[in-house]
């Protein structure tokens, strides 16, 4: 197999893995809506996708101490490292809180602390992963033929600000509340629409930051 074909396969694999994570992220946030067992399974899949993503981009780690750091590199490096920390925290706390897949481990201590850790990691991870995606979404934007389509994320982001406040992200991110409110009296689609809008908001902010830093 030629080197060009290998690179093409890796590129397609990266895109597939990244798209899968973007799709699963808001679903993962609504754990009570999908059920605890499904949430744990999706969490395992997300962890596997993240591990694959890191493996495919492992050269980033080897270059982290090389070269100079401008504003863009400093901020994106901080986002990446904090995101990895959130993923690790989510995985460890998720395993310790597991009532189904990892129930056989029979971990019964520290549940209250782990719930707080899991919520903290989940909401900060959601924001950081969205920012991370926005920083690297430029390659997709370049392929958009109709530039007016770029106004769509901006419009969604405006609603995303409202959804961010309405869904109490700040309260969850700073542990001002201990349990997520899902609003079971309303259709589930509204929850996912709000979380997708928040995701688009931070993806847009990440993309805008990169564009500004180029100037």
pLDDT in tens, 115-136: 999 999 999 999 999 999 999 8
What's residue 110's pLDDT? 84
Q: Look at residue 43 and tell me whether its pLDDT is greater than 90.
A: yes
Please give the share of the chain, as a percent, with pLDDT higher than 90: 59
Average pLDDT value over all residues in the chain: 88
Which residues are within 8 A (CB) of 183 and not within 5 positions of it... i.e. 6 or more apart?
190, 191
Tell me the pTM. Answer: 0.90
What's residue 39's pLDDT? 94
Q: Look at residue 182 and tell me whether its pLDDT is greater than 90.
A: no
For residue 99 the two structure tokens come to 């009532």
What's residue 89's pLDDT? 96
What's residue 144's pLDDT? 61
Higher-confidence residue of 207 and 213: namely 207
pLDDT tens, position by position, 52-105: 999 998 999 989 999 999 988 999 999 999 999 999 999 999 999 999 999 999
Q: CA torsion sign, 26 to 36 to 40 to 171?
A: positive
- Which runs of consecutive H residues, i.e. helices, occur in the chain? 3-29, 31-34, 36-56, 59-62, 71-97, 111-135, 138-141, 151-166, 169-173, 188-214
Task: Answer for the pair 133, 203: CB distance below 8 angstroms, yes or no.
Answer: yes
Does residue 102 sit in helix, strand or coil? coil
The domain segmentation of the chain, as residue ranges, is: 3-214
Query: How sure is the predictor about 7, in pLDDT bands with cuts at 50, 70 and 90?
Result: low
Which residues are within 8 A (CB) of 201 and not within 5 positions of it... i.e. 6 or more apart?
130, 156, 157, 160, 161, 163, 164
């Amino acid at each position: 197999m030629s080197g060009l074909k290998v690179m093409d396969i890796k590129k397609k694999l990266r895109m597939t893995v990244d798209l899968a994570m973007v799709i699963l992220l808001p679903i993962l946030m609504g754990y009570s809506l999908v059920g605890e067992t499904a949430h744990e399974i999706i969490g395992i899949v997300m962890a596997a996708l993240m591990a694959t993503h890191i493996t495919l981009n492992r050269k980033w780690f080897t270059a982290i101490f090389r070269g100079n750091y401008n504003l863009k590199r400093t901020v994106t490096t901080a986002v990446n490292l904090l995101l990895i920390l959130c993923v690790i925290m989510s995985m460890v706390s998720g395993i310790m809180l597991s009532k189904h897949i990892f129930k056989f481990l029979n971990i019964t201590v520290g549940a209250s602390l782990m719930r707080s850790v899991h919520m903290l990691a989940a909401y900060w991870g959601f924001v950081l992963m969205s920012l991370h995606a926005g920083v690297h979404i430029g390659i997709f934007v370049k392929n958009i033929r109709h530039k007016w389509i770029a106004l769509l994320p901006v419009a969604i982001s405006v609603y995303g600000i409202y959804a961010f406040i309405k869904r109490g992200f700040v309260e969850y991110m700073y542990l001002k509340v201990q349990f997520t409110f899902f609003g079971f009296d309303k259709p589930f689609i509204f929850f996912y629409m709000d979380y997708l809008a928040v995701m688009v908001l931070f993806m847009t902010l990440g993309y805008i930051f990169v564009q500004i830093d180029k100037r």
